[in-house]
Structure 1
Amino acid sequence: MRSAWIRAALRALATRSPLALINGVIPPDACRVSEGIAYGRGPRQQLDIYMPWQAAGAPVVVFFYGGSWRSGARSDYRFVGDALASRGFVTAVADYSLYPQAAYPVFLQDCAQAVAWTAQHCAAYGGDPDRIYLVGHSAGAYNAAMIALDSRWLGAHGRSPRMLAGWAGMAGPYDFLPIETRAVRPVFHYPHTPVDSQPVLHAHAGAPPALLMAGSTDKIVDPRRNTDGLQQALSAAGAQVQAIRYRGLGHELLVGALARPLRWRAPVLEDLCTFLGSHQRQSQRKAQA
Protein backbone atom coordinates (compact mmCIF):
# COMPACT_ATOMS: atom_id res chain seq x y z
CA MET A 1 0.00 0.00 0.00
CA ARG A 2 2.76 2.48 0.93
CA SER A 3 4.64 1.70 -2.32
CA ALA A 4 1.56 2.36 -4.45
CA TRP A 5 0.90 5.58 -2.54
CA ILE A 6 4.45 6.82 -3.16
CA ARG A 7 4.42 5.85 -6.86
CA ALA A 8 1.13 7.67 -7.39
CA ALA A 9 2.47 10.81 -5.69
CA LEU A 10 5.60 10.74 -7.84
CA ARG A 11 3.51 10.40 -11.01
CA ALA A 12 1.39 13.37 -9.94
CA LEU A 13 4.45 15.59 -9.60
CA ALA A 14 6.18 14.26 -12.72
CA THR A 15 3.17 15.01 -14.90
CA ARG A 16 2.37 18.32 -13.17
CA SER A 17 -1.12 17.02 -12.46
CA PRO A 18 -3.14 18.61 -9.65
CA LEU A 19 -1.64 18.29 -6.21
CA ALA A 20 -4.86 16.92 -4.78
CA LEU A 21 -3.28 13.51 -4.34
CA ILE A 22 -0.55 14.51 -1.93
CA ASN A 23 -2.86 16.96 -0.20
CA GLY A 24 -5.39 14.15 0.18
CA VAL A 25 -3.15 12.11 2.47
CA ILE A 26 -2.95 14.85 5.12
CA PRO A 27 -4.72 13.63 8.28
CA PRO A 28 -7.79 15.78 8.96
CA ASP A 29 -6.61 16.47 12.51
CA ALA A 30 -2.98 17.22 11.61
CA CYS A 31 -3.26 20.89 12.55
CA ARG A 32 -5.70 23.75 12.88
CA VAL A 33 -6.46 25.71 9.71
CA SER A 34 -8.09 29.11 9.17
CA GLU A 35 -8.93 29.57 5.48
CA GLY A 36 -9.72 32.50 3.24
CA ILE A 37 -8.41 35.28 5.45
CA ALA A 38 -8.27 38.62 3.64
CA TYR A 39 -5.01 40.55 3.94
CA GLY A 40 -6.25 43.18 1.47
CA ARG A 41 -9.26 44.07 -0.63
CA GLY A 42 -8.21 42.41 -3.90
CA PRO A 43 -9.80 39.14 -5.06
CA ARG A 44 -6.51 37.25 -4.68
CA GLN A 45 -5.36 38.99 -1.51
CA GLN A 46 -6.20 36.08 0.75
CA LEU A 47 -4.23 33.56 2.77
CA ASP A 48 -4.72 30.38 4.78
CA ILE A 49 -3.08 29.91 8.18
CA TYR A 50 -1.94 26.51 9.45
CA MET A 51 -1.37 26.30 13.20
CA PRO A 52 0.13 23.64 15.46
CA TRP A 53 -2.41 22.50 18.03
CA GLN A 54 -0.34 23.95 20.85
CA ALA A 55 0.80 27.16 19.13
CA ALA A 56 1.72 29.91 21.56
CA GLY A 57 4.48 32.28 20.59
CA ALA A 58 5.49 29.94 17.75
CA PRO A 59 7.76 31.03 14.89
CA VAL A 60 5.91 32.15 11.78
CA VAL A 61 6.41 31.32 8.09
CA VAL A 62 4.83 33.13 5.14
CA PHE A 63 4.96 30.86 2.09
CA PHE A 64 4.72 31.94 -1.56
CA TYR A 65 4.15 29.27 -4.23
CA GLY A 66 5.43 29.25 -7.81
CA GLY A 67 3.74 29.11 -11.20
CA SER A 68 5.67 31.58 -13.38
CA TRP A 69 3.57 34.42 -11.89
CA ARG A 70 0.74 33.14 -14.11
CA SER A 71 -0.84 30.31 -12.11
CA GLY A 72 -1.15 28.83 -8.65
CA ALA A 73 -3.53 28.72 -5.72
CA ARG A 74 -2.97 28.52 -1.99
CA SER A 75 -5.27 25.48 -1.77
CA ASP A 76 -2.76 23.48 -3.85
CA TYR A 77 -0.13 23.93 -1.14
CA ARG A 78 -1.91 22.51 1.87
CA PHE A 79 0.96 20.03 2.10
CA VAL A 80 3.38 22.91 2.78
CA GLY A 81 1.22 24.31 5.57
CA ASP A 82 0.83 20.82 7.00
CA ALA A 83 4.58 20.12 6.85
CA LEU A 84 5.61 23.29 8.64
CA ALA A 85 2.77 23.28 11.16
CA SER A 86 3.73 19.70 12.05
CA ARG A 87 7.17 21.04 13.00
CA GLY A 88 5.81 23.84 15.18
CA PHE A 89 5.55 26.76 12.74
CA VAL A 90 2.47 28.92 12.30
CA THR A 91 2.32 29.06 8.50
CA ALA A 92 0.52 31.47 6.20
CA VAL A 93 0.14 30.30 2.59
CA ALA A 94 -0.71 33.39 0.57
CA ASP A 95 -2.29 33.98 -2.81
CA TYR A 96 -1.13 36.98 -4.84
CA SER A 97 -2.12 38.67 -8.09
CA LEU A 98 -1.17 36.84 -11.30
CA TYR A 99 -0.67 37.71 -14.96
CA PRO A 100 -2.54 38.77 -17.08
CA GLN A 101 -4.61 40.55 -14.43
CA ALA A 102 -1.38 41.90 -12.92
CA ALA A 103 2.29 42.20 -13.87
CA TYR A 104 5.50 43.22 -12.14
CA PRO A 105 5.59 44.72 -9.54
CA VAL A 106 1.97 44.17 -8.45
CA PHE A 107 2.58 40.63 -7.18
CA LEU A 108 5.47 41.92 -5.04
CA GLN A 109 3.21 44.59 -3.60
CA ASP A 110 0.69 41.88 -2.74
CA CYS A 111 3.32 39.68 -1.11
CA ALA A 112 4.65 42.57 0.95
CA GLN A 113 1.12 43.37 2.07
CA ALA A 114 0.63 39.73 3.10
CA VAL A 115 3.82 39.85 5.16
CA ALA A 116 2.85 43.13 6.80
CA TRP A 117 -0.61 41.75 7.62
CA THR A 118 0.93 38.62 9.09
CA ALA A 119 3.29 40.64 11.26
CA GLN A 120 0.36 42.63 12.63
CA HIS A 121 -2.05 39.72 13.19
CA CYS A 122 -0.04 36.52 13.69
CA ALA A 123 -0.12 36.72 17.50
CA ALA A 124 -3.87 36.06 17.34
CA TYR A 125 -3.06 32.72 15.70
CA GLY A 126 -0.35 31.72 18.16
CA GLY A 127 2.56 33.21 16.21
CA ASP A 128 5.50 35.31 17.37
CA PRO A 129 5.77 38.57 15.35
CA ASP A 130 9.46 38.75 16.27
CA ARG A 131 10.18 35.48 14.46
CA ILE A 132 8.81 35.79 10.94
CA TYR A 133 10.40 33.95 8.01
CA LEU A 134 9.65 33.97 4.31
CA VAL A 135 9.76 30.79 2.25
CA GLY A 136 9.06 30.48 -1.45
CA HIS A 137 9.34 28.02 -4.32
CA SER A 138 10.22 28.97 -7.91
CA ALA A 139 8.42 32.26 -8.73
CA GLY A 140 7.46 32.37 -5.06
CA ALA A 141 11.15 32.17 -4.14
CA TYR A 142 11.72 35.21 -6.34
CA ASN A 143 8.94 37.00 -4.47
CA ALA A 144 10.44 36.06 -1.11
CA ALA A 145 13.90 37.18 -2.25
CA MET A 146 12.69 40.57 -3.39
CA ILE A 147 10.70 41.20 -0.21
CA ALA A 148 13.71 40.18 1.91
CA LEU A 149 16.39 42.03 -0.08
CA ASP A 150 14.71 45.13 -1.54
CA SER A 151 13.33 47.47 1.12
CA ARG A 152 10.90 49.20 -1.26
CA TRP A 153 8.17 46.62 -0.85
CA LEU A 154 7.85 46.35 2.92
CA GLY A 155 8.74 50.04 3.18
CA ALA A 156 5.45 50.86 1.48
CA HIS A 157 3.77 49.42 4.60
CA GLY A 158 5.96 51.19 7.12
CA ARG A 159 8.09 48.11 7.67
CA SER A 160 11.55 46.88 6.76
CA PRO A 161 13.20 43.57 5.80
CA ARG A 162 15.03 43.91 9.10
CA MET A 163 11.84 42.68 10.73
CA LEU A 164 12.47 39.25 9.18
CA ALA A 165 14.29 36.49 11.04
CA GLY A 166 15.35 34.99 7.71
CA TRP A 167 14.17 33.71 4.36
CA ALA A 168 14.49 30.55 2.29
CA GLY A 169 14.28 30.22 -1.47
CA MET A 170 13.58 26.90 -3.18
CA ALA A 171 14.58 26.69 -6.86
CA GLY A 172 14.24 30.44 -7.24
CA PRO A 173 15.01 32.56 -10.31
CA TYR A 174 17.19 35.38 -8.98
CA ASP A 175 19.09 36.46 -12.11
CA PHE A 176 17.17 35.93 -15.35
CA LEU A 177 17.86 38.87 -17.68
CA PRO A 178 17.52 38.79 -20.60
CA ILE A 179 14.30 36.82 -20.20
CA GLU A 180 14.39 33.67 -22.32
CA THR A 181 11.08 32.09 -21.29
CA ARG A 182 8.44 33.55 -23.60
CA ALA A 183 5.58 33.06 -21.15
CA VAL A 184 7.41 35.14 -18.54
CA ARG A 185 8.37 38.03 -20.81
CA PRO A 186 5.10 39.99 -20.61
CA VAL A 187 4.99 39.53 -16.84
CA PHE A 188 8.12 41.68 -16.59
CA HIS A 189 7.31 44.12 -19.44
CA TYR A 190 9.85 42.67 -21.89
CA PRO A 191 11.84 44.15 -23.57
CA HIS A 192 11.62 47.00 -21.05
CA THR A 193 12.17 44.87 -17.96
CA PRO A 194 13.47 47.03 -15.10
CA VAL A 195 17.04 46.04 -14.32
CA ASP A 196 16.40 46.40 -10.59
CA SER A 197 13.81 43.61 -10.78
CA GLN A 198 16.64 41.09 -10.25
CA PRO A 199 17.21 39.89 -6.66
CA VAL A 200 20.93 39.31 -7.28
CA LEU A 201 21.38 43.08 -7.58
CA HIS A 202 19.97 43.68 -4.10
CA ALA A 203 22.46 41.62 -2.13
CA HIS A 204 23.79 43.63 0.81
CA ALA A 205 25.45 43.09 4.16
CA GLY A 206 22.35 43.79 6.24
CA ALA A 207 20.13 41.29 4.43
CA PRO A 208 18.23 38.75 6.56
CA PRO A 209 19.91 35.32 6.80
CA ALA A 210 19.17 33.23 3.72
CA LEU A 211 18.87 29.55 2.87
CA LEU A 212 19.02 28.78 -0.87
CA MET A 213 17.83 25.30 -1.86
CA ALA A 214 17.98 23.73 -5.32
CA GLY A 215 17.74 20.36 -7.02
CA SER A 216 20.67 19.08 -9.03
CA THR A 217 18.45 18.04 -11.96
CA ASP A 218 16.36 21.22 -12.19
CA LYS A 219 15.70 21.86 -15.89
CA ILE A 220 13.42 24.88 -15.39
CA VAL A 221 15.54 27.24 -13.26
CA ASP A 222 19.30 26.88 -13.68
CA PRO A 223 20.68 26.42 -10.14
CA ARG A 224 24.19 27.43 -11.17
CA ARG A 225 23.21 30.86 -12.43
CA ASN A 226 20.46 31.52 -9.91
CA THR A 227 21.08 29.72 -6.62
CA ASP A 228 24.88 29.74 -6.87
CA GLY A 229 24.90 33.26 -8.27
CA LEU A 230 22.82 34.71 -5.45
CA GLN A 231 24.80 32.79 -2.86
CA GLN A 232 28.01 34.31 -4.21
CA ALA A 233 26.52 37.81 -4.31
CA LEU A 234 25.21 37.61 -0.75
CA SER A 235 28.44 36.11 0.55
CA ALA A 236 30.53 38.77 -1.20
CA ALA A 237 28.34 41.48 0.35
CA GLY A 238 28.87 40.04 3.84
CA ALA A 239 25.36 38.63 4.35
CA GLN A 240 24.60 35.31 6.04
CA VAL A 241 23.79 32.69 3.42
CA GLN A 242 23.71 28.92 3.16
CA ALA A 243 23.07 26.88 0.01
CA ILE A 244 22.03 23.23 -0.30
CA ARG A 245 21.94 21.23 -3.54
CA TYR A 246 19.82 18.05 -3.52
CA ARG A 247 21.09 15.27 -5.72
CA GLY A 248 18.47 13.82 -8.03
CA LEU A 249 15.72 16.34 -7.29
CA GLY A 250 14.13 18.34 -10.07
CA HIS A 251 12.22 21.60 -9.97
CA GLU A 252 8.84 20.34 -8.74
CA LEU A 253 10.09 17.55 -6.53
CA LEU A 254 12.16 19.98 -4.45
CA VAL A 255 9.00 21.45 -2.94
CA GLY A 256 7.14 18.16 -3.33
CA ALA A 257 9.59 16.58 -0.89
CA LEU A 258 7.85 18.54 1.88
CA ALA A 259 4.76 16.36 1.42
CA ARG A 260 4.23 13.37 3.70
CA PRO A 261 4.48 10.69 0.97
CA LEU A 262 7.67 12.14 -0.52
CA ARG A 263 9.79 13.15 2.45
CA TRP A 264 11.91 10.04 2.06
CA ARG A 265 13.35 11.40 -1.18
CA ALA A 266 15.50 14.07 0.49
CA PRO A 267 15.77 15.83 3.87
CA VAL A 268 14.28 19.05 2.52
CA LEU A 269 11.88 19.53 5.43
CA GLU A 270 14.54 18.74 8.01
CA ASP A 271 17.04 21.16 6.47
CA LEU A 272 14.44 23.89 6.10
CA CYS A 273 13.25 23.57 9.70
CA THR A 274 16.81 23.48 11.00
CA PHE A 275 17.47 26.78 9.26
CA LEU A 276 14.21 28.35 10.40
CA GLY A 277 14.89 27.35 13.99
CA SER A 278 18.42 28.71 14.09
CA HIS A 279 17.89 32.44 13.53
CA GLN A 280 16.32 35.33 15.38
CA ARG A 281 15.35 38.69 14.03
CA GLN A 282 18.43 40.86 13.47
CA SER A 283 17.16 43.63 15.70
CA GLN A 284 16.85 41.15 18.58
CA ARG A 285 20.40 39.91 18.10
CA LYS A 286 21.75 43.45 18.10
CA ALA A 287 19.74 44.37 21.19
CA GLN A 288 21.23 41.40 23.00
CA ALA A 289 24.81 42.19 21.89
Structure 2
Amino acid sequence: MGTDLGPAVLAQCRALFDAEQLALVDQVPVSVADIAYGPHERHRLDIYRPQGDGLVPILVFVHGGGFLKGDKGGHGGGTDAWPNANVGRMAAQAGFLGVVINYRLAPDNVWPAGAEDIAAVVAWIKDHAAQYGGDPERIVLMGTSAGAVHVAGYLKLAGDRDICAAILLSGLYGYTPLDERDTLYYGDPALYAERMPLEAVAGTPLPLMLACAEFDPPRFQAEFLSLMQDRLARHGAMPRAFIHSGHNHYSMAMHLGAADRRLANEICAFVRDTTA
Protein backbone atom coordinates (compact mmCIF):
# COMPACT_ATOMS: atom_id res chain seq x y z
CA MET A 1 0.00 0.00 0.00
CA GLY A 2 2.98 2.31 0.38
CA THR A 3 2.94 5.40 2.59
CA ASP A 4 -0.15 7.10 1.15
CA LEU A 5 -3.15 8.20 3.21
CA GLY A 6 -6.77 8.37 2.12
CA PRO A 7 -10.11 6.54 2.17
CA ALA A 8 -9.00 3.77 -0.21
CA VAL A 9 -5.99 2.84 1.93
CA LEU A 10 -8.09 3.07 5.09
CA ALA A 11 -10.66 0.66 3.60
CA GLN A 12 -7.92 -1.76 2.53
CA CYS A 13 -6.45 -1.75 6.03
CA ARG A 14 -9.80 -2.36 7.62
CA ALA A 15 -10.40 -5.34 5.34
CA LEU A 16 -7.19 -6.93 6.63
CA PHE A 17 -8.46 -7.02 10.22
CA ASP A 18 -12.26 -7.22 9.87
CA ALA A 19 -12.58 -10.94 10.58
CA GLU A 20 -10.30 -10.95 13.62
CA GLN A 21 -11.73 -7.83 15.19
CA LEU A 22 -15.37 -8.75 14.61
CA ALA A 23 -14.74 -12.05 16.40
CA LEU A 24 -13.67 -10.11 19.50
CA VAL A 25 -16.75 -7.89 19.69
CA ASP A 26 -18.83 -10.44 21.61
CA GLN A 27 -15.86 -11.75 23.58
CA VAL A 28 -15.07 -8.34 25.06
CA PRO A 29 -18.27 -6.26 24.91
CA VAL A 30 -18.41 -2.64 25.94
CA SER A 31 -19.19 -2.37 29.66
CA VAL A 32 -20.75 1.11 29.63
CA ALA A 33 -21.29 3.17 26.49
CA ASP A 34 -21.71 6.84 25.62
CA ILE A 35 -21.00 8.31 29.03
CA ALA A 36 -21.06 12.10 28.90
CA TYR A 37 -17.89 13.72 30.23
CA GLY A 38 -18.87 17.23 29.13
CA PRO A 39 -21.68 19.29 27.55
CA HIS A 40 -20.91 18.83 23.83
CA GLU A 41 -22.50 16.00 21.84
CA ARG A 42 -18.98 14.69 21.10
CA HIS A 43 -18.09 14.59 24.78
CA ARG A 44 -18.71 10.86 25.07
CA LEU A 45 -16.64 7.89 26.22
CA ASP A 46 -16.99 4.12 26.36
CA ILE A 47 -15.59 1.85 29.07
CA TYR A 48 -14.21 -1.67 28.63
CA ARG A 49 -13.83 -3.37 31.98
CA PRO A 50 -11.56 -6.36 32.63
CA GLN A 51 -12.54 -9.42 34.61
CA GLY A 52 -11.64 -9.54 38.28
CA ASP A 53 -11.92 -7.30 41.30
CA GLY A 54 -9.91 -4.39 42.61
CA LEU A 55 -8.82 -1.14 41.02
CA VAL A 56 -6.72 -1.51 37.88
CA PRO A 57 -4.65 0.87 35.72
CA ILE A 58 -6.59 2.95 33.19
CA LEU A 59 -5.62 3.21 29.51
CA VAL A 60 -7.38 6.08 27.71
CA PHE A 61 -7.35 5.91 23.90
CA VAL A 62 -7.78 8.99 21.67
CA HIS A 63 -8.59 8.23 18.02
CA GLY A 64 -7.09 9.86 14.94
CA GLY A 65 -8.77 11.46 11.94
CA GLY A 66 -6.72 14.46 10.87
CA PHE A 67 -8.53 16.77 13.36
CA LEU A 68 -11.64 16.62 11.13
CA LYS A 69 -13.21 13.20 11.64
CA GLY A 70 -13.04 9.94 13.56
CA ASP A 71 -15.10 8.10 16.15
CA LYS A 72 -14.57 5.89 19.18
CA GLY A 73 -16.52 3.14 17.44
CA GLY A 74 -18.34 0.36 19.20
CA HIS A 75 -21.76 1.04 20.68
CA GLY A 76 -24.19 2.83 18.40
CA GLY A 77 -22.50 1.86 15.16
CA GLY A 78 -23.36 -1.83 15.22
CA THR A 79 -20.96 -4.72 15.75
CA ASP A 80 -18.98 -3.79 12.63
CA ALA A 81 -18.04 -0.39 14.13
CA TRP A 82 -15.00 -1.95 15.74
CA PRO A 83 -12.16 0.45 14.72
CA ASN A 84 -10.86 2.32 17.78
CA ALA A 85 -13.16 0.30 20.05
CA ASN A 86 -10.65 -2.52 19.49
CA VAL A 87 -8.11 -0.61 21.61
CA GLY A 88 -10.50 -0.58 24.57
CA ARG A 89 -10.98 -4.32 24.15
CA MET A 90 -7.22 -4.85 24.01
CA ALA A 91 -6.84 -2.90 27.24
CA ALA A 92 -9.51 -4.94 29.03
CA GLN A 93 -7.97 -8.21 27.86
CA ALA A 94 -4.65 -7.03 29.33
CA GLY A 95 -6.26 -6.35 32.71
CA PHE A 96 -6.64 -2.57 32.37
CA LEU A 97 -9.75 -0.41 32.33
CA GLY A 98 -10.04 0.65 28.69
CA VAL A 99 -11.54 4.09 28.04
CA VAL A 100 -12.13 5.13 24.42
CA ILE A 101 -13.25 8.70 23.80
CA ASN A 102 -14.71 11.06 21.25
CA TYR A 103 -13.65 14.71 21.17
CA ARG A 104 -14.72 17.85 19.35
CA LEU A 105 -13.65 18.13 15.71
CA ALA A 106 -12.32 20.91 13.51
CA PRO A 107 -13.11 23.15 11.73
CA ASP A 108 -15.98 23.99 14.08
CA ASN A 109 -13.78 23.43 17.12
CA VAL A 110 -10.26 24.80 16.88
CA TRP A 111 -7.10 24.79 19.02
CA PRO A 112 -6.95 24.00 21.92
CA ALA A 113 -10.29 22.13 21.89
CA GLY A 114 -8.70 18.67 21.62
CA ALA A 115 -6.39 19.21 24.59
CA GLU A 116 -9.24 20.73 26.61
CA ASP A 117 -11.41 17.68 25.91
CA ILE A 118 -8.71 15.31 27.11
CA ALA A 119 -8.35 17.41 30.26
CA ALA A 120 -12.11 17.04 30.78
CA VAL A 121 -11.80 13.25 30.33
CA VAL A 122 -9.00 13.08 32.90
CA ALA A 123 -11.07 15.14 35.34
CA TRP A 124 -14.06 12.83 34.80
CA ILE A 125 -11.88 9.77 35.39
CA LYS A 126 -10.51 11.25 38.59
CA ASP A 127 -14.04 11.66 39.90
CA HIS A 128 -15.78 8.56 38.54
CA ALA A 129 -13.46 5.80 37.33
CA ALA A 130 -13.25 4.00 40.67
CA GLN A 131 -16.90 2.98 40.42
CA TYR A 132 -16.02 1.15 37.18
CA GLY A 133 -12.94 -0.56 38.63
CA GLY A 134 -10.31 1.92 37.47
CA ASP A 135 -7.63 3.41 39.69
CA PRO A 136 -7.79 7.20 39.22
CA GLU A 137 -4.17 7.48 40.37
CA ARG A 138 -2.95 5.24 37.52
CA ILE A 139 -3.96 6.87 34.24
CA VAL A 140 -2.04 6.44 30.97
CA LEU A 141 -3.08 8.47 27.91
CA MET A 142 -2.61 7.01 24.43
CA GLY A 143 -3.38 8.68 21.10
CA THR A 144 -2.81 7.93 17.44
CA SER A 145 -2.22 10.55 14.71
CA ALA A 146 -4.40 13.58 15.58
CA GLY A 147 -5.17 11.82 18.86
CA ALA A 148 -1.45 11.76 19.66
CA VAL A 149 -1.34 15.49 18.90
CA HIS A 150 -4.16 16.07 21.38
CA VAL A 151 -2.44 13.98 24.06
CA ALA A 152 0.69 16.07 23.50
CA GLY A 153 -1.50 19.17 23.64
CA TYR A 154 -2.83 18.00 27.00
CA LEU A 155 0.76 17.93 28.28
CA LYS A 156 1.11 21.53 27.09
CA LEU A 157 -2.19 22.52 28.72
CA ALA A 158 -2.06 20.59 31.99
CA GLY A 159 1.55 19.57 32.44
CA ASP A 160 2.48 16.31 34.11
CA ARG A 161 -0.17 16.28 36.79
CA ASP A 162 -2.91 13.67 37.08
CA ILE A 163 -1.45 11.06 34.69
CA CYS A 164 1.37 8.53 34.97
CA ALA A 165 2.55 8.32 31.36
CA ALA A 166 1.67 8.92 27.71
CA ILE A 167 1.86 6.82 24.55
CA LEU A 168 2.11 8.64 21.22
CA LEU A 169 1.50 6.73 17.98
CA SER A 170 2.42 8.51 14.74
CA GLY A 171 1.86 12.06 15.94
CA LEU A 172 2.91 15.55 14.82
CA TYR A 173 4.57 17.70 17.46
CA GLY A 174 5.99 20.72 15.64
CA TYR A 175 9.30 19.63 14.10
CA THR A 176 8.11 19.75 10.47
CA PRO A 177 6.49 22.59 8.48
CA LEU A 178 2.79 23.29 8.77
CA ASP A 179 0.49 21.45 6.37
CA GLU A 180 -2.51 23.32 4.98
CA ARG A 181 -4.86 20.81 6.59
CA ASP A 182 -3.39 21.63 10.01
CA THR A 183 -4.62 25.22 9.77
CA LEU A 184 -8.20 23.97 10.09
CA TYR A 185 -7.34 23.13 13.70
CA TYR A 186 -4.43 25.42 14.57
CA GLY A 187 -5.64 28.53 12.75
CA ASP A 188 -3.27 31.29 11.66
CA PRO A 189 0.06 29.76 10.50
CA ALA A 190 1.84 32.66 12.18
CA LEU A 191 0.70 31.18 15.52
CA TYR A 192 1.67 27.61 14.63
CA ALA A 193 4.96 27.51 16.55
CA GLU A 194 3.51 28.79 19.82
CA ARG A 195 0.48 26.51 19.60
CA MET A 196 2.28 23.26 18.82
CA PRO A 197 3.08 21.02 21.82
CA LEU A 198 6.76 20.51 20.95
CA GLU A 199 8.25 22.01 24.10
CA ALA A 200 5.80 20.24 26.38
CA VAL A 201 6.18 16.78 24.91
CA ALA A 202 9.96 17.04 24.54
CA GLY A 203 10.49 18.49 27.99
CA THR A 204 7.98 16.63 30.17
CA PRO A 205 9.47 14.42 32.90
CA LEU A 206 6.61 11.97 32.38
CA PRO A 207 7.51 8.57 30.92
CA LEU A 208 6.76 8.53 27.19
CA MET A 209 6.41 5.73 24.69
CA LEU A 210 6.68 6.68 21.02
CA ALA A 211 5.76 4.53 18.04
CA CYS A 212 5.95 4.93 14.29
CA ALA A 213 5.11 2.61 11.40
CA GLU A 214 7.51 1.42 8.73
CA PHE A 215 5.08 2.78 6.14
CA ASP A 216 4.03 5.98 7.90
CA PRO A 217 4.22 9.02 5.60
CA PRO A 218 7.70 10.60 5.69
CA ARG A 219 6.49 13.62 7.69
CA PHE A 220 5.33 11.39 10.55
CA GLN A 221 8.60 9.46 10.46
CA ALA A 222 10.56 12.73 10.61
CA GLU A 223 8.51 13.87 13.61
CA PHE A 224 9.15 10.56 15.40
CA LEU A 225 12.90 10.73 14.84
CA SER A 226 13.11 14.41 15.76
CA LEU A 227 11.28 13.86 19.03
CA MET A 228 13.53 10.90 19.81
CA GLN A 229 16.61 13.06 19.24
CA ASP A 230 15.16 15.97 21.20
CA ARG A 231 14.32 13.76 24.17
CA LEU A 232 17.84 12.33 24.10
CA ALA A 233 19.37 15.81 24.06
CA ARG A 234 17.15 17.10 26.88
CA HIS A 235 17.01 14.06 29.15
CA GLY A 236 20.17 12.14 28.36
CA ALA A 237 18.17 9.10 27.32
CA MET A 238 15.72 8.11 24.63
CA PRO A 239 12.10 7.33 25.52
CA ARG A 240 10.64 3.88 25.08
CA ALA A 241 10.07 3.54 21.35
CA PHE A 242 8.88 1.10 18.71
CA ILE A 243 9.10 1.12 14.90
CA HIS A 244 6.41 -1.22 13.67
CA SER A 245 7.56 -3.19 10.64
CA GLY A 246 4.93 -4.20 8.12
CA HIS A 247 2.42 -1.57 9.26
CA ASN A 248 1.24 1.82 8.06
CA HIS A 249 -0.37 4.90 9.57
CA TYR A 250 -3.83 3.36 9.81
CA SER A 251 -2.97 -0.19 10.79
CA MET A 252 -0.93 0.94 13.81
CA ALA A 253 -4.05 1.27 15.95
CA MET A 254 -6.43 -0.78 13.82
CA HIS A 255 -4.63 -4.08 14.37
CA LEU A 256 -4.37 -3.83 18.17
CA GLY A 257 -6.04 -6.82 19.78
CA ALA A 258 -5.46 -8.98 16.70
CA ALA A 259 -2.90 -11.76 16.23
CA ASP A 260 0.10 -9.49 15.67
CA ARG A 261 0.95 -8.80 19.32
CA ARG A 262 4.27 -6.96 18.90
CA LEU A 263 3.01 -3.42 19.51
CA ALA A 264 0.29 -4.51 21.93
CA ASN A 265 2.88 -6.28 24.07
CA GLU A 266 5.07 -3.17 24.13
CA ILE A 267 2.10 -0.97 25.08
CA CYS A 268 0.89 -3.28 27.83
CA ALA A 269 4.38 -3.68 29.29
CA PHE A 270 4.82 0.11 29.30
CA VAL A 271 1.48 0.61 31.08
CA ARG A 272 2.36 -1.98 33.71
CA ASP A 273 5.81 -0.52 34.26
CA THR A 274 4.61 3.07 34.62
CA THR A 275 1.63 2.29 36.87
CA ALA A 276 3.25 -0.28 39.16
Q: How has the CA–CA distance of structure 1 residues 235 and 176 changed in structure 2, closer, same or farther, with 3 Å as cutoff?
A: closer
Is this contact kept in 2: 1:31–1:53, CA < 8 A? no
**TM-score after normalising by structure 2:** 0.84
Q: Where does structure 2 lack aligned partners over 5 or more consecutive residues? A: 1-8, 74-82
For 1:117, the equivalent position in structure 2 comes to 124
Identity of aligned residues (%): 26
Per-residue CA distance 1:9-66 (angstroms, 9 max, x = gap): xx86536679876642224142552001000111111100111021521000111000
Q: How has the CA–CA distance of structure 1 residues 15 and 57 changed in structure 2, closer, same or farther, with 3 Å as cutoff?
A: closer
Distance in 2 (alpha carbons) for counterparts of 1:205 and 1:179? 21
Q: Does 1:235 align with 2:235?
A: no
Q: How has the CA–CA distance of structure 1 residues 114 and 20 changed in structure 2, closer, same or farther, with 3 Å as cutoff?
A: farther
For 2:170, the equivalent position in structure 1 comes to 171
For 2:154, the equivalent position in structure 1 comes to 147
CA RMSD of aligned residues (A): 2.5
Alignment of 1:206-225 (within 5 A): 206-219=204-217, 221-223=219-221, 225=222
Q: How has the CA–CA distance of structure 1 residues 195 and 57 changed in structure 2, closer, same or farther, with 3 Å as cutoff?
A: same
Structure 1 runs, 4 residues or longer, greater than 3 Å off = 15-23, 203-206
Paired residues, number:
258
Deviation at 1:105, TM superposition (A): 1.1
Q: How has the CA–CA distance of structure 1 residues 32 and 52 changed in structure 2, closer, same or farther, with 3 Å as cutoff?
A: farther
For 1:201, the equivalent position in structure 2 comes to 199
Distance in 1 (alpha carbons) for counterparts of 2:266 and 2:131? 28
Q: How has the CA–CA distance of structure 1 residues 233 and 174 changed in structure 2, closer, same or farther, with 3 Å as cutoff?
A: same
Distance in 2 (alpha carbons) for counterparts of 1:267 and 1:64? 20
Q: Where does structure 1 lack aligned partners over 5 or more consecutive residues? A: 1-10, 155-159, 282-289
Per-residue CA distance 1:262-285 (angstroms, 9 max, x = gap): x32x6010011011110138xxxx
For 1:70, the equivalent position in structure 2 comes to 68
Is this contact kept in 2: 1:210–1:240, CA < 8 A? no
Structure ranking higher on relative contact order (CA contacts 8 Å, 6+ apart):
2
Distance in 1 (alpha carbons) for counterparts of 2:218 and 2:208? 22
Distance in 2 (alpha carbons) for counterparts of 1:29 and 1:257? 16
Distance in 1 (alpha carbons) for counterparts of 2:247 and 2:136? 33
Q: Secondary structure at the match of 1:243?
A: strand
Q: How has the CA–CA distance of structure 1 residues 206 and 217 changed in structure 2, closer, same or farther, with 3 Å as cutoff?
A: closer
